Structure 1
């Protein structure tokens, strides 16, 4: 027998068993509820009628005609099968069958009402048959029991009600079983199509192969569905993000909401756009991660990542190469223009102007070099600032380092490469905000106090008030070209990793970004 036939027969058997259990459980329960409902109706009517002043006076004086007339009027507004009124001696004063008025009340259950004045529910056999009735005493104005009232429903009536109300339910149940059987057949065929005609052992082998491939992947891989729940997580992801139990054994995160397991500031979200090789924080660890959506009908996304430590050295080296390349390009362009000008002046025989131009250029750069030699003891940072100086000249922007700047060590939690990345991105951001010929950017950097301070001020267009809290988010930029909106995000990441904080003060024509990080106590000795 194939797996699909077993599924069909099993589902049908379970369905029939559930139907039988439901019928055997619900029917007695429903009958109990029906009896309780009828008892409640009888109680309310019995107590209310017993309180009628006209009834109490008529029973007190033994006025049978008045009692009978009153009860006959009540039959028009009640669904009870009978209302029996009895006097103190237990003789009928009102009864559905007029010929039985004056006879003793049957059932043997009225003594407690007549003698003790009790209210109670009783099931007994009377002159009309077995019934469920509620008995209440009738008392006069002096509080003496002068009679009793019995409001009841015949058991045959309850049985008839059950038959009337349960036939539709029985028909619905049979119809439900029939249509559920058809649905089970459809489900069986759907399972067959979903399994692509494969048997369970074949699917198990495919699943094992998929897990082996995932765990053999060096990157951490996490698959997330449309509801932001984890559907797959390989061994490296669990190890790097410490998704383990107390004894180091990885625990299952499959089915858990990704935000409950991985703190990623929204990076691991099925509703975010695709992104490649972005820096992110997963459970406090810096990673280089990519996010790719799976598309419909699957939905969700796959996040792959590696710890930044594994590629940070290569990234830093590439960053330095790019900075040096950019500096060399700018310097080549600048020197090519100046050499052309100097060559033209010499050819014209105007050597004095040529020498003056050489002295002017040499003096400007030499002043910066001399200033950095005194203020900055970090060679990599000095090289970066010289490169930014040349770039500023190319863009016709004034760039200067504050005279009271002084730095001899990197702050706690930052390498010199990371420090250069932070300062470089801040300066580039200011260059972008400034207009050519009128732009001015000033850098202040100091490690002399308890905090390492980096401050960059420019006279650019400024940052709108409603954007100040968003400029450090990934992808936020004043430029529309792809690839922007990363620099300030990286600055924020580096600063947060070092335990520092950022202050922004901006208005049209002036923007200041200041960073505070704990300073390194032991500084480089020069």
Structure 2
């Protein structure tokens, strides 16, 4: 780049120098021609010259050299040469005979250059070569004093040495200016080179081109969103995935804090704490945030080169599917564990029954089985689900009841529950119901005795409506119950709406065309919170309707 700039400056200076020299030479030539023409006009207008030339032209004979040697015209021409510095002043008659000439031996001879133009009454200016060499000469007609008819000519010439005697000074000035221009261009080129090196971190144009190509390939090739911003918080790089996840197409050129995004997302992008007492969060400890219908993890990494802060790169990873699958796996694991416990308990009861029967105590075995059946039907027992018959919902609620019982919370199915259809979208139903029940159980743990959770389920065609209420302390902040702030299991008033559970179930319901809402916030002096959900399209009619139902 430096050599290219210096070459460009050198060519420009050379061209300008050539133009200035050419213009200067032309000006000197024009000045010499103008001076020669002015002197020739002055001499030709002299009355003595006009009279002498007219007399010589009227004489039929040819004047001799001796008669012209010290004649009045020769004296006048010699005086004019001395006063003007001209190379020569030649006066001729109408036949081109020299009446005055710097060389005495040439007097009375015909001039060596053309004189017809002057006799025709026209003035000429040109550069010609004659007996005295090349010169800038002007030829002016000498007119008869009585008739004004051209009767001769006056030719005045300036030698090139006298014409261009100021040329060295001109060339010196042009050379000095050209050198100063070259020096200035070199200095500016060095300054530009250093600035470019500072801006490009020392990378050459080829390296920058390769870097841009590689960056475009990497940004378009990764599946995660990539967003970079400088120390001034202005976004400089953003791939299409980042624009899609953030829902903003024109990210580049905008400040991070000016983006229309939720507060937790801005905090995650900038690495700032979401709570005043918290310190700056590290990139490795990123928390999930809900962004529109996505659950994303945002990791930030500061970038520097040569101890210079270049800004921050934020990697936005869409983990919606992973979180959803994780919740589903947790639900399946809970159901599996509940079934394992039930299988173990059932095996124990079978052993007791078999032992009584082997001992011949059949009536005692019968009484034992009756007690087991009564305990299963008793409200407040291990699971009071006599109002629920749908297999999937029954197993899910039963599993959650087992887990709630381990935490000292009684989970029951409300008496108004009625589900006649069959669940056709178990994954979505499990995600919503399990999250609402888990939150309710956690809230009930912090509530006063007795600790309970009631689940009511109703279906209407293909829509399932669920209500989950608890005995906790209620929702402290209704406005942030569905926000994605950071989880805290310490504050009992912040059980609901601490994490991504409620935002996730609301997104699942919204995707199905339904909703999740807070029906009752509860609070001091009353019961706990009540959450409701409506999930369209998750139910279907049973393959074999129960007796009494329409087919």
Give TM-score scaled by structure 2 length: 0.48
Give TM-score scaled by structure 1 length: 0.50
